[in-house]
Structure 1
């Protein structure tokens, strides 16, 4: 499992030019069951995505399709972790 930390590297006006395409990308990844949660940081400096992809290289390929990545408006930091404790609603995350 990975936490994907997006940090915008340009002004929000440029980020917003690709926002609808980014949302379509997210929707596609949710349909494929690759992403579990996502949202904006506060203040709005980027976003966070929780992914259940197990392979870093596979996740990097998926991220390469993100319009934010393709258009150079965000940097991506991947943090891999193994869930060991959750609330009852998220027990499915523990393998």
Structure 2
């Protein structure tokens, strides 16, 4: 499993211009079953994505993000093993 931290490199006006395309990209990644959760940071300096897939698939999806294509964000990827989860999230546990 991966936690991806996006950090914006451009003014929020540019992020806002790309936002609709970014949301469509997110929806496609959810439809593929790659993303588990996502949302903006508070304060709005970037976002967080939780993904469950191979690193190769994740890297390909991140490269297709409109923010990445426009050079508007950097991505910090951290892999971890979900050994414990809250009730109802057992499907995300890793051996």
Q: Same fold (TM over 0.5)?
A: yes
- Tell me how far apart the structure 2 counterparts of residues 59 and 43 of structure 1 sit (CA, whole Å): 25
Equivalent residue pairs, number:
94
Q: List aligned pairs for 1:1-16, cutoff 5 A.
A: 1-16=1-16
**TM-score, length of structure 1 as denominator length:** 0.95
- Tell me how far apart the structure 2 counterparts of residues 56 and 23 of structure 1 sit (CA, whole Å): 21
Q: Secondary structure at the match of 2:89?
A: helix
The answer for the alignment partner of 1:63 in structure 2 is: 62
The answer for the alignment partner of 1:44 in structure 2 is: 44
- Tell me how far apart the structure 2 counterparts of residues 45 and 25 of structure 1 sit (CA, whole Å): 19
More off after superposition, 35-44 vs 85-94: 85-94
**TM-score, length of structure 2 as denominator length:** 0.95
For structure 1, list consecutive stretches of 5 or more residues without a partner in the other structure.
none
Displacement, 1:89?
A: 1.8
- Tell me how far apart the structure 2 counterparts of residues 58 and 35 of structure 1 sit (CA, whole Å): 11
- Tell me how far apart the structure 1 counterparts of residues 79 and 15 of structure 2 sit (CA, whole Å): 26
For structure 2, list consecutive stretches of 5 or more residues without a partner in the other structure.
none
- Tell me how far apart the structure 2 counterparts of residues 89 and 71 of structure 1 sit (CA, whole Å): 38
